């Protein structure tokens, strides 16, 4: 094998390992987004996510609750991991084009 093919193969291995790592991380993080509802001039937060065709709202608490802050951080982390996964998938596609593999 040429040096070029070796480098491409190593890069593909690295990207596939990263992809697996990010996919496993996503399984551990919550899906959805935080939704604010106001009742009697007080704000309450819910985790909104899809389950099949339905949108489910799970009560989280008020904005000053610990559960709200933890969930906000986890959703932010999920967003970061999703962006990294998209970038890895893009690089894998470019690598396939470069090496003429489908």
In terms of residue numbers, what domain contains 13?
3-98
3-28 and 66-98 helices, crossing angle to 10°: 160
pLDDT of residue 102: 41
Total tally of structural domains belonging to the chain: 1
What are the backbone dihedrals phi and psi of residue 23, each rounded to the nearest 5 degrees, phi first?
-65, -40
Give strand ranges (E) for 18-92.
Answer: 33-39, 42-51, 54-61
Q: Note the pTM of the prediction, 2 decimals.
A: 0.80
Per residue in 2-59, pLDDT (tens digit) is 888 888 889 999 999 999 999 999 999 999 999 999 999 999 999 999 999 999 999 9
Distance from C-alpha of 58 to C-alpha of 1, rounded to nearest angstrom: 55
CA proximity to 18, closest of 76, 90, 99, 72: 90
């Amino acid at each position: 094998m040429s040096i070029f093919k070796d480098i491409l193969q190593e890069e593909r291995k690295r990207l596939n390992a990263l992809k697996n790592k990010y996919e496993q991380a996503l399984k551990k993080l919550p899906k959805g987004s935080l939704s604010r509802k106001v009742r009697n001039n007080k704000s309450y937060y819910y985790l909104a996510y899809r389950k099949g065709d339905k949108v489910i709202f799970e009560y989280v608490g008020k904005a000053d609750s610990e559960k709200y802050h933890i969930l906000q951080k986890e959703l932010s982390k999920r967003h970061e991991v999703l962006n990294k996964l998209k970038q890895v998938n893009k690089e894998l596609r470019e690598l396939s084009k470069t090496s003429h593999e489908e």
